[in-house]
Amino acid sequence: MDVKIKNLSLTYGDFTAVKNLSLEIDNGESLVLLGKSGCGKTSTMRCVAGLEDPSGGSITIGDTAVVDADRSVNLSPNKRNVGLVFQSYAVWPHMTVLENVSFPLRMKKAPKSQIRAKALETLELVGLAHVAHKGASMLSGGQMQRVALARSLAMEPAVMLLDEPLSNLDARLREDLRVELRRLQVELGLTSIYVTHDQGEALALADRIAIMQDGRISQLATPEETYRRPASASIAEFLGVSNIFKVQPASPLDMRVRLAEHDLEVALDTADAMLTGDDSICIRPEHVRVASGPAPAGPNTWNGTVLVSVFQGAYARCTVQVDNGPAIDVHADVRDLAEFHQGDRVHVRLDPHHVRLLPQHAPVHDETVPVPVPQGV
């Protein structure tokens, strides 16, 4: 079912975790809340779950207003039919796997025979039918994660909330489960809100990504859009763009900008940014080309020296100190690796198309529904 969050605010004492946040999630959509710890993403999700009481705003699931601060509506969590997979799994160690998964069905007072059949069916779905009668404390981390998932799936939730569900797993398992989660979500048509700080997870699992900073959504876009066009330098930095350089104030029509801390001009191909006077250029390391020898003529082609080169398997990560300029991070094709060592003279080349000129912070992305204010306030 679709979820509508309107003007949601959550305060703990003096601290405001969520600031006037509005967001709509369509039926069957997977929305990822992405942000650093403390940005309010988990708080937002817990408001939807009913584990936190918002100080303002409303949340509607389907046609039901589950919380509305102005009308004093606040449905308790067990009446919302919202599934939540916890970061800690929260699988009950004093029960078997089957008992864990049967719990929501028992709470719905389903007939006994149905409970068992439905629980086993759900376990089948996550590939755990063979451990149904094991004690839940005997499972591995990955299995626990699946039990937690199955337990929430069994209740056929209106919305599924996932709170960094993969963050306690090994890298390898994490990637496998990521694919499986997406498969299940699409297959079952689950409306889901997924909270993570891992951009790779967000890109893989989202229909739309809402980037949260400081209790607000600062960018709401598809994964492709988010990756290609981060809305601000701080978002770009969070998304792993390692080359971010402050520029001197420029006017919107300039096609060239000058770095603030180095005597270097960088060419752009569009002046796409809303300039604020505190702007940076952002360059993904994989967009920088590196080659040996002196630089040929052309825009954004600079001589430099290799500071360090690290083999990473699929690519080599180099840092190149540009003459009279900054140190630039480069992901070089592995085939070039043999050619670069510390101290080598090289040149780097950067297509102006790949240079983004961005403000430090995005303007507040606010779907605020204007509230009529009496005149004269």
Interface residue with other proteins, options 111, 189, 277, 372 (CB under 8 A): 372
Rounded to whole angstroms, how far apart are CA atoms 374 and 377? 6
Identify the residue whose tokens are 């492709």: 224
Q: How far is the CB of 272 from other proteins (least distance, A)?
A: 24
**Given 35, 40, 57, 230, the residue binding other proteins (CB under 8 A):** 57
Q: Is 37 in the site for other proteins (CB under 8 A)?
A: no
Smallest gap from Cβ 35 to other proteins, in A, equals 20
Residue 280, exposed/middle/buried by CB under 10 A (0-12, 13-18, 19+)? buried
Phi-psi region at 2: left, alpha or beta (left = phi > 0; alpha = psi -120 to 50): beta
Helix (H, G, I), strand (E, B) or coil at 350: strand
Asked if residue 368 binds other proteins (CB under 8 A), the reply is: yes
Does residue 75 belong to the site contacting other proteins (CB under 8 A)? no
Distance between start and end Cα atoms, the chain: 39
* Residue corresponding to tokens 């959550």: 10
Would you count residue 84 as binding other proteins (CB under 8 A)? yes
Please pick, from the candidates 32, 115, 155, 231, the single residue that binds other proteins as defined by CB under 8 A.
Answer: 155
Q: Which of 49, 139, 149, 346 binds other proteins (CB under 8 A)?
A: 49
Question: Are 151 and 103 spatial neighbours (Cβ–Cβ below 8 Å)?
Answer: yes
Residue 171 or 373: the one with the smaller Cβ distance to other proteins is: 373
Whether 152 contacts 91, CB under 8 Å: no
Helix H, strand E, coil C: the string for 130-170 is HHCCCEHHHCCHHHHHHHHHHHHHHCCCCEEEEECCCCCCC
- Options 56, 62, 299, 352; binder of other proteins; rule CB under 8 A: 56
Task: Name the residue with tokens 């799936």.
Answer: 153
Does residue 227 belong to the site contacting other proteins (CB under 8 A)?
no
Q: Tell which one of 1, 65, 69, 173 touches other proteins (CB under 8 A).
A: 69
Contacting other proteins (CB under 8 A), which of 1, 2, 4, 20? Answer: 20
Contact with other proteins (CB under 8 A): which of 26, 70, 124, 224?
70
User: CA 262 to CA 248: how far, in whole Å?
Assistant: 10
Task: Tell me which stretch binds other proteins (CB under 8 A): 65-73, 125-133, 264-272, 278-286.
Answer: 65-73
| Residue choice 30, 81, 122, 145 for contact with other proteins (CB under 8 A) | 81
What CA–CA distance (Å, rounded) separates 2 from 60? Answer: 8
Q: How far is the CB of 300 from other proteins (least distance, A)?
A: 39
Binding part of the chain for other proteins, among 72-80, 177-185, 281-289, 306-314 by CB under 8 A, reads 72-80
- Kindly state whether residue 88 participates in binding other proteins, applying the rule CB under 8 A: yes
**Which residues contact residue 129 at a Cβ distance below 8 angstroms, ignoring those fewer than 6 apart?**
120, 123
Three-class SS of residue 356?
Answer: strand
The closest alpha carbon to 271, from 352, 350, 357, belongs to 357
Round to whole Å and give the CA distance between 329 and 320.
7
Query: Which one, of 204, 243, 233, 235, lies nearest residue 219 by Cα?
Result: 235
Q: Please pick, from the candidates 86, 134, 275, 291, the single residue that binds other proteins as defined by CB under 8 A.
A: 86
Contact call for residue 203 and other proteins (CB under 8 A): no
x-marked contacts with other proteins along 295-334 as a string, rule CB under 8 A: ----------------------------------------
Report the interface residues with other proteins, using CB under 8 A. 7, 9, 11, 20, 49, 51, 53, 55-57, 69-70, 72, 74, 76-78, 81-84, 86-88, 90, 92-94, 103-104, 107-108, 148, 151-152, 155, 366, 368, 370-373, 377
